[in-house]
Structures are given as C-alpha cells and as structure tokens.
A and B are shown apart, each in its own frame.
Chain A
Amino acid sequence: MNRLVLRALICIVAVAAAVIAADKPTLAIRAGNWLNEKGELADKALVIFTGEKISQVGGDAPADLAIHEYPASAVISPGLVDCMTSLGSLGDLTERKSAIEPTARAKDAFDRFHSHLRRAMQAGVTTFALCPEESNLIGGSIAVCQTTGPRGQPRLLVERGPMMLSLSPAVYREDREPTSRSGAVGMLREALAKAATGPKEAPLTAAITAKGRFFVSSPAAADVLTAAQLLAPYKISPIVVHSEEARVVAADSAGSLTGAVVGPIDLCASPRMAEAAGRFERAGTRVAISGRLPFSSEQGLRIGAAVAARNGLKKQAARLAITQTPAEFLGVSDRVGAIKKDLLADVVVFSGDPLDLRSRVLAVYVAGERVYVAGDAAESK
C-alpha cells in the first residue's frame, strides 16, 4: 500500500512538473516596433513565446529567458497570410468531370515537400489557403496550411476551410455543363437549394447550415452582385474574389459582402487593379490582398499591399490586408494573423515597416521556433 501511494505521489509530481514546464516561457523576441491589431506600428516591441503560442506581448521579459534582440528599426509582424493560392499543390486542383464537386478537398493535393513552401516562408508567408481552382462552379473545400511548422515540417491547419465557388468564365466548357453564364448561375442556384435541404453530413449542406464562409470567384462586377444574391436566401454574405471592376461595384455591393479578396497586384498592375482594394475599403467592405502564390513572386503579398497603399488603401488596412483580415476570412483568426496572447507564435521580423519595400525579412518564427534567419540578423544573448 505504501508503495502504491508512493508511486501515485511520484506520478502526480511528474505531471505537475510537466504542466509547470509547459507554462514556462520559452523564448522572447525584442525589436523597436511591432504591428498591433489595428495595423499600426507600435513601439516597445517585446513578444514572449511559451511553447507554440504567444504568451505575452509587451511588458518585461523574465530575467532568465533567452531573448532574440533585433535592431531598433526592426518591426515584429504577424506571419503573412495569403488567402488565395495554389502554393504547394501536387498537380491540378480541379476535378474536370463535373462542375459541381462539393466533396473535393484541396488538402488532398497538398504537397508538403514542395520547394515553393520554403521560398514563401523566407519571404514572410507563414499561413496560406490552398484553394480549388476557379474552373468549377463548386470547387470544394479550401485547406488552410502553413509553409512550415514544428520540426520544420509544413502542416495543415484546417482540412475543411471555406467553400470555393466560382462564376468565372473558366467554368464554361463545351465538354460538360455549364456552357454559358445563364446556365452556370442556374446550376449553382439549384445546387445550393438542393444542398440546403440535403443530408447534414454533406459538406455543402454543412457549410450552408452553419453559415460558413464562402469564397466566390467573381471576375466581373455583375458576378459580385450575383454572388451576393445567390447566397442571400441562406443569410450568407460571400467573400468575393474580385479586382478588375471594383470602381463600379464596390459601393453597390457594400453591406452584402463579408469581404473582398483582391490581387495579385504586382509592380506593373493597371491603375484599376491597384486601386481596387482602396475602393472596397472605403465602401466599408473589408479587404484582403492575395498574392495568388505561386503565380506571383514570393514578394507578391507585400508588393500588392505596397501598391494598394499608394492607390487609396490606408496603410493600416494594407498591413491588415496581408495578416489579420485574410486570417479572419479563412476562419483562423483565433490562431494566426495577429500578435496577440494565445495565438500561434507565428511572427516575422522585418528590418522596417513590412509595407516598405526597402525592408527585408530578418527572421521567421513559426510555432514558437525560429525557422529562418537572414545572414546578418541579431543573435540571442
């Protein structure tokens, strides 16, 4: 009996020690500035990690804690989030037999060994959405992934993210339906109506019932309004993927959208592409900027934000458009996209404002570990 009690006591002490160790901060990083939840640059940047999560922002670091110091001009930013990509995909992300594939999951095409993932991570992109392509009316579930994770392994964060729909002309085919826009809209309307009363375990039914997030590819201004109209009966406001005609549709669609995804915006973007994000934002629609990786360069997110900020998008909104806002669109803002207590410790240290293209990535941290450091970044004490 005494032996049994002793063993029990030892187990309790061991568990308690593990719990205490798990709560112990593991690392701190300090720089001159950090990007807060309003998209502003705040000073006195100190971020403390405990395990995979952020445990403290600001204040003082415990005396015995390892601190990674960065220059006074450096900025600690949330890891960048690209909410519309084909990054790390193994082959095609579209099933061509049928235009309606609600059971398809982009995560099944995720190649965690793809070389693009490391390149994107080194550019500061830590989280991204692997999306079915826009050539199906209902393309399936978006997967939310990370360019790297614990032990340097890219990982899946969310298997079944938002549902991908499309009103793009890429949907029209001659070898299968739909073959026209009116056919496409009719088919989509019918599919949604059928799913609304279908079995609860069906992905589309579940998404409609739970009023989940729907991304709708809407190249034309009319598509934006149609997307809102198609989902309105289910009390769902879509997130439209639209850039080209924001100047005519941003005001009209305000209030009927959860958000807009704009991009890619590169250095040679036309004026109407460059000002699209600003137009949506001023109309009251939250906007995320996508680099559409890998179709743009790995700097595509920051370039898009920088160009948009010169064409009407407020600087704070531009910083949020590549961090917090896309995280919210993907439904993972409780895990990534901001420097906030209890979120995943995914941060990037830039040499300056991430919106300033003179800035460089100094270091990248994912799940509390430093996974990348540029040659001349400061080392820990």
Chain B
Amino acid sequence: MSLFGKPRPVFSCPHSLVLFAPLLLILSSGTAAQAQMGGKATLIENGTILLDGGRTIEKGDVLIMGTQIANLGEKVEASMMAMPKKISAKGKYITAGLVDVWSTIGMRSGPSGRASGNAKDNFDRYADDEMMAAWASGVTVVYVPARVANGFGGTGAVIRLKPNANLEDIVLSENAVLSATIDGAGNQGPLARLRLARELRKAFADAKEYRKAREDYEEELKEYEKKLAEKVKKDAEAAAKDAPAKDAKDGGAKRDGKGPGDRKEGGKPAEPPKQAEPQKPGEPPKEGEKKDELKKPIEPPKDRNFDALLKVLDGELRLRVEANRPEDIANILEVAAEFNIALTIEGGAGAHVVADDLKARDVVVVLGPPPRTMIFSAGPQRFSTEDAFARLRAAGVPVYLGTGIPGGEWTSPNLALRASMCVDDELTSAKALDLITADAARFLGVEKKAGRLAAGVPADVVIWSDHPFAPGARVERVFVAGEEVYKAPKFGGEKKKEKDEEAGEGEE
C-alpha cells in the first residue's frame, strides 16, 4: 500500500477542480472565434467606431485576431492567451478601410489589349510608395481595370493593398468585370470614336457567331459520332455474315470469331475502315465524293477573347466602359441595349447629361475626380461639372466614387475628401461614408471580404484623428488583413502629445 493511499485520477478529486477551475475559466474566456483564430492579436480600445448603415459605437473596442476582426463593441474582452497588443483610440475614430472602385495603383504596363487579358497580371505587388499614399488616405482595397487606350483590355481585379503578399492572397476578385475604353487618351475625333463603338458592337456580334459556330460543331460532332458508331456496327454485322462463306472458300481455316478488319496472327495489322476527309460544318460534299460519305467536322478554333465576351453576353461578367463624352456614353448604351449587357460607365464626366437614359437601362456610374480646372476643354472633360454626383443621384442613377486616371506621378486618393464634397441635404455624412466603404465593396461583389467592420470579416481597419470628413482629420494608423501597414509620421509640434498617447498603448 502506498504511503499516500490509493492513487486517484487528478480530475476525480473535488479539490483539484477547485484548483483548476479559475485557470480553465481564464483559458476559455473570450469568444469562440478567438479560440479558432490563430496569429497575433491587436485590441484597439476606446474609440468611436463608425459602422455601416450609420451606426456608431462610442468608446468602442475592436479586437483583431490574425487576419480577421474577432469582435467589436463596447468593452471587448480578449483572452489572456491571446495577449493582444493594445492601442488606445481615445478621442479617435475607427472605420473600415476605404474602398476605391476605380484606381491605377500598382498598375505598371498596360494589358494585352485583348478581352482575354487580366488586370491582376499587371499589378505590382511591390508598389510600396503607391500603397503608402493610398494608406495615408485610408484606402485599403482598390479595383484596378485592365485599361487600354481604346477597346477591350480584359478583366479587372479587386485587390487588397497588402505589402509583399502573394497575389492569390490579395486578389479578392478577378473575374467580375470586363474593361473597355472609348478614347482613353482623349484625342480621338468623333468619327474615330463612333468607329470604336461600332467595333465593340461587332466584337459582341462576332462572339455570338463564334458561339453559334461552336454549337453547330458540337451538334455535328455528335451526329458524326453517332453515324460512325452505326457504321462500325453495320460493318461488323456484314463481316460476321460473310465469315462462314469465306471460311469454306479458304478450306476450313480456323474461325476465331473475329471480323474481317481484325488483326490476324502473324499477319499485317488490320486497316481501319476508310473514312472520307473531314468536312467543315455546313460545307457541301466535294466533287467526286459520295453524298453520304462520313466526314468528321472540323473544330472551329477556340478563342479566349470571344469566351470572355460571351461571359458578358451571358451575364456572368459586367461590362465596364470608360467613357466621358455624352455621345460616347449614348453609343455604348445602344450596344448594351442591343445585347442586353449589364453596363457600368467609368469616368462619366458627361454622364449627367444622359442621366435619364442611364437610369432607364439600369446603368451604374463610377465617377472620376471632379473638374480640376476652370478652363474650358473641348475634349472628354467638356461636360465635367462639380455637381455631377448630385445630378446623377437626383436622376436615380447609382453612382460611386473612384480616383480614376489622374495622370502623372502617383497620387493620394483622398477619397474621404471626395465623399465629403458629396454631402448635402440628400446625402448624409453616414451615407457618404458608406459610399466609400460598405456600398463600394458590395458594388464590387466583395462585401464579405472588405468594406465593413464586423466579426469574421478581414481586418482592414483605419484609425483617424477625427471624423473622416472633419477638417484636418488625418489617418493615423492602418491595418490591412490584421497587419499594421501604416502609422502616420509625427509632425514637430505634436511630438509631446503623441508621446503622452503612446504611454497607455502597451507597445514594445
């Protein structure tokens, strides 16, 4: 017998339960989501959280675990095991990362200029300076078009601006939109632009012909295979009938049950049944050939460009056309109506002139920057006006804000300022903020991956010094997929104040 009595399992002892219970409680505290998520943890505390739909949480916390938001609300607790890095957001505002629905960040060379091109292939994952400019404006997700000067450029891509990441980790969507441009350089005359619109129409018409040719080929191939099978069967039956007479003629040669076309032992390999030369679908029989001779149809060549256009025709892809002049937009509307295409107009400097037509055909407009000069230009920006957004909204046209193609050196999107300029009696600040976050993400089809602050959503979070639309509001910190990618530089006069704020942060 043991000195301490009969040994018992640990957890069967009531005393051990009392000992272990607090530890169990501590370990199990926090949400189930926290338990599931791995990676480092960050707790942003005590800020004003601006959620979509105009909801606000005063003195709220956001808990980031790994790449996702684990929890948010008033007084969020994190488990001790998570050991989150704590960041004080007292007096600050917290929003989702902004979504730019039309950007050229990170785009290097132009795409191939074909409908089968893909914008993500031209995205530079190491465009750190450009990403920095975007983060400094609070932008974490962008849509980049496959842009060429004229015509189809390929499919655009929605990209999360995370530095040094694999492409597959940051491309949120790559096959939702086909890009096209009418006079992207702004230097085409009216006849040339009309020709461009006609070429787009012809491309869709040719795509339909291509599909018809492929469908005809598939049918003819089926027919051919069916007939071939029948012929083989007929030939086999005929050979079986002829076999006894032939055996008798050959002097009782051993019958092995094989047909006349089969290989004989030690003999030459049997020849396959003779077929006529393949016939192209719809082609009449050649001179000298029998009418009922079997011809294998020639497969029409596959064309990835047409395949992409067919996706637009079938409604799988939306067509996004960069066009600014009202007449160019009107031409594109006709093409879209003829082929029943879901259309988005990009740029749209003159879209408000044809707003009623856009509304009638459920067209969405992605508006580029407001006019940058007072000087009249007869080019694409001729109708550009500062109240384009308000006029399109008044006409009932869905409209979103994009940075567009500013030209020259890389720039800051300043989306928050753009959205603030749209605020009026009809559009509140809350709705304007949704326009560049949740609504923009929904428009791009990535609402589950970006544009919102909610548990389970990737942690694209921005901390602002003030409400994003308030004068002087600065982006202070940016998190992309849970990783802190940007911290605003300190300015001279603010050094002492920021030191005081950091005292409570718990940073290393």
Which residues from chain A sit less than 8 Å from chain B, CB to CB?
Answer: 116, 119-120, 266-271, 274, 278, 282, 293-299, 303, 306-307, 309-312, 314-315, 318, 353, 355-358, 360
Contact status A282-B493, CB under 8 Å: yes
State how many angstroms separate the Cβ of B176 from the closest Cβ of chain A: 26
Contact status B410-A270, CB under 8 Å: yes
| Max chain A Cβ within 10 angstroms of own Cβ: one of B410, B420, B472, B491 | B472
The chain A residue with its CB closest to the CB of B374 is A294
Given contacts A355-B471, A358-B469, contact A303 B417 (CB under 8 A): yes
Point out the residues of chain A lying under 8 angstroms from B474, CB to CB: 310-311
State how many angstroms separate the Cβ of B199 from the closest Cβ of chain A: 31
Contact of B133 among A120, A270, A278, A318 (CB under 8 A): A270
What's the count of A-B pairs with C-beta under 8 Å?
92
Contact with A along B121-141 (1 / 0, CB 8 A): 000000000001100100000
Q: How many residues on B have C-beta within 8 angstroms of the other chain's C-beta atoms?
A: 35
Q: Which 6 A-B pairs have the closest CB atoms?
A: A294-B374, A355-B471, A268-B406, A309-B472, A268-B411, A358-B423
> How many angstroms between the C-alpha atoms of A298 and B384 in the bound complex?
13
Give residues 251-282 of B contacting A (CB, 8 Å).
none
Q: Is B71 at the interface (CB under 8 A from chain A)?
A: no
- Supply 22 A–B pairs (Cβ within 8 Å), ascending by A: A266-B372, A268-B406, A269-B411, A269-B414, A270-B411, A282-B491, A294-B373, A296-B372, A297-B372, A297-B386, A299-B386, A312-B491, A314-B472, A314-B493, A315-B471, A315-B472, A353-B471, A355-B471, A356-B469, A356-B471, A358-B420, A358-B469
Point out the residues of chain A lying under 8 angstroms from B386, CB to CB: 297-299
State how many angstroms separate the Cβ of B416 from the closest Cβ of chain A: 8
Contact of A297 among B370, B417, B493 (CB under 8 A): B370
State how many angstroms separate the Cβ of B166 from the closest Cβ of chain A: 27
Contact status B417-A268, CB under 8 Å: no
The chain A residue with its CB closest to the CB of B490 is A312
The chain A residue with its CB closest to the CB of B491 is A312
Point out the residues of chain B lying under 8 angstroms from A274, CB to CB: 412
Contact of B491 among A268, A278, A315 (CB under 8 A): A278
Q: Is B371 at the interface (CB under 8 A from chain A)?
A: yes
| Max chain A Cβ within 10 angstroms of own Cβ: one of B132, B373, B473, B492 | B373
Contact of B371 among A116, A282, A297, A358 (CB under 8 A): A297
Contact status B491-A306, CB under 8 Å: no
State how many angstroms separate the Cβ of A226 from the closest Cβ of chain B: 24
Point out the residues of chain B lying under 8 angstroms from A293, CB to CB: 374
Contact status A318-B420, CB under 8 Å: no
Q: Is B403 at the interface (CB under 8 A from chain A)?
A: yes
> How many angstroms between the C-alpha atoms of A356 and B419 in the bound complex?
12
The chain A residue with its CB closest to the CB of B421 is A357
Point out the residues of chain B lying under 8 angstroms from A296, CB to CB: 372-374
Contact status A268-B414, CB under 8 Å: yes
Contact with A along B367-407 (1 / 0, CB 8 A): 00111111100000000001000000000000000010010
Q: Is B409 at the interface (CB under 8 A from chain A)?
A: yes
Give residues 327-377 of B contacting A (CB, 8 Å).
369-375
Point out the residues of chain A lying under 8 angstroms from B132, CB to CB: 271
Contact status A295-B373, CB under 8 Å: yes
> How many angstroms between the C-alpha atoms of A309 and B472 in the bound complex?
5
Point out the residues of chain A lying under 8 angstroms from B423, CB to CB: 358
Point out the residues of chain A lying under 8 angstroms from B375, CB to CB: 294-295
Point out the residues of chain B lying under 8 angstroms from A314, CB to CB: 472, 493
